[in-house]
Amino acid sequence: MHVAARRTLATMATSSRMRSWFPTTSYPLVVSAPMDFVTNPKLATEVTKAGGLGFIQGGRDFTPSSPVLRKLDDQLTQARELLLGSNPENSGSDRPLPIGVAFVMYAPSAAHFADTTLPILLKHRPAAIWLFAPAPSAPDTLPNTLKALRLGFKSSSSSEEEWTPKLVVQVGSVAAALGAAQHGADVVVAQGVDAGGHQSAVGAGIVSLVPEIVDALAGREVAVWAAGGIVDGRGVAAALALGAEGAVLGTRYMVAVESDAQDFKRKAILSTADGGVNTVKSQLHDHIQGNTSWPSVYDGRAIVTPTYRDQLAGVPLDENTKRFNAAKENGDVSRMVTWSGTGVGLIKDELPAAEITRKVREGALKVMAGLKSAL
């Protein structure tokens, strides 16, 4: 690598806004996506230990005495012990917790967020709080939740360290990004339709979505993270070239050693190639499992199965559901849903989360160094 290229990369690393916001991270910022039934305290903390930013999924049930919130409290306690040890001096709220926690906001119980969920966040003090999928029928959900969080931060006090977590909002359009910024988001996750799992039903890939959002937010103190189809250092480098300050990886971490993903999902991801053809966005993936709670403006990308092919062939949902349930009861996993982004064909192995994080970051630096040295 040329001296000039090394100097440029060093400058970028030390001047990174993400490094100042998240002091435990390394440049470039690699973020593990919050995923139901996949992420857990071990995975998230291993990502953080390796210089990334790990997230856990906090759920979508904010009713009083919700078991989901009890689980969240337990998970954050586990994360603190994994990162800071079991020393009683580290168990309280004086030290911020260098991971993030995410919430899905479309359920009516989101109205209880400030009363039931904010106290847990104030107790554990995570580095970032990620919000996604407010219901179109409840347009005040996002602004009210962001406001409640800001007020909660101001009311909390610490004699040792200031706690000002960054507020992250996942979006799938320029309009949604502008709305999130207006309501006080620090970070918008520009999620392209190449992403796995739940997302906006209509949208664009990150190649056009990220730079348009970056341009739309120019002059504001709002960072952009790219999400969708990113699984290696090349994808991270591309995201940075598009203007993002961080890259979110989901499908890649599904096959992390620490992941809670079931064996059939791991096998499906490792055996699937040509992700643009062999994954598909559809609400069928939810409906076939009996989940009709997601608003129609959202769908999800998953690996193509016989269930989806049957739908294309005209099989009615009732009959398709019978086939799905029969296969499940018989131990046939061929129809089971595996959420996956279009980058699935680039995933060849299961690795520890920390190793994934380091390899992706080092791969991105190598790509950028090669581009710099070619100038």
User: CATH 3.20.20.70: which residues of the chain?
Assistant: 3-261+349-373
| pLDDT on residue 96 | 86
Residue 167: name the closest of 198, 213, 121, 209 by CA.
121
Tens digits of pLDDT across the chain (375 residues): 444 444 444 445 445 899 999 999 999 999 999 999 999 999 999 999 999 999 999 999 999 989 999 999 999 999 999 998 755 454 544 678 999 999 999 999 999 999 999 999 999 999 999 999 999 999 999 999 999 999 988 776 554 456 789 999 999 999 999 999 999 999 999 999 999 999 999 999 999 999 999 999 999 999 999 999 999 999 999 999 999 999 999 999 999 999 999 999 999 999 999 999 999 999 999 999 999 999 999 999 999 999 999 999 999 999 999 999 999 999 999 999 999 999 999 999 999 999 999 999 999 999 999 988 877
Task: Say if CB 16 and CB 361 are below 8 A apart.
Answer: no
What is the bridge-based pairing of β-strands 187-191 and 55-57?
A: unpaired
Residues near 63 by Cβ (< 8 Å), separated by ≥ 6? 109, 112, 116
Q: What is the pLDDT of residue 304?
A: 98
pLDDT of 162 reads 65
Torsion angle, alpha carbons of 59, 62, 63, 65, to 10: 70
Residues contacting residue 278 through CB under 8 Å, at least 6 positions apart: 272, 303, 304, 344, 345
Residue 7: what pLDDT?
Answer: 42
pLDDT at 16: 84
Q: Where are the alpha helices (DSSP H) in the chain?
A: 3-15, 17-21, 41-49, 67-84, 113-116, 118-124, 141-155, 174-182, 206-216, 233-241, 251-254, 263-271, 275-278, 284-287, 306-312, 317-329, 353-373
- Domain 3-261+349-373 falls in which CATH fold? TIM Barrel (3.20.20)
Catalytic residues: 198
3-class state of residue 354 by DSSP? helix
The pLDDT score that the predictor gives to residue 57 is 97
Q: What pLDDT score does 12 carry?
A: 53
> What tokens appear for 218 in the block?
């120019």
**pTM for this predicted structure:** 0.93
Print burial letters for 12-51: b (CB count within 10 Å at least 16), e (below 16). Answer: beeebebbebbebbbbbbbbbbbbeebbbbbbbbbbbbbb
| Residue 135: DSSP 8-state | -
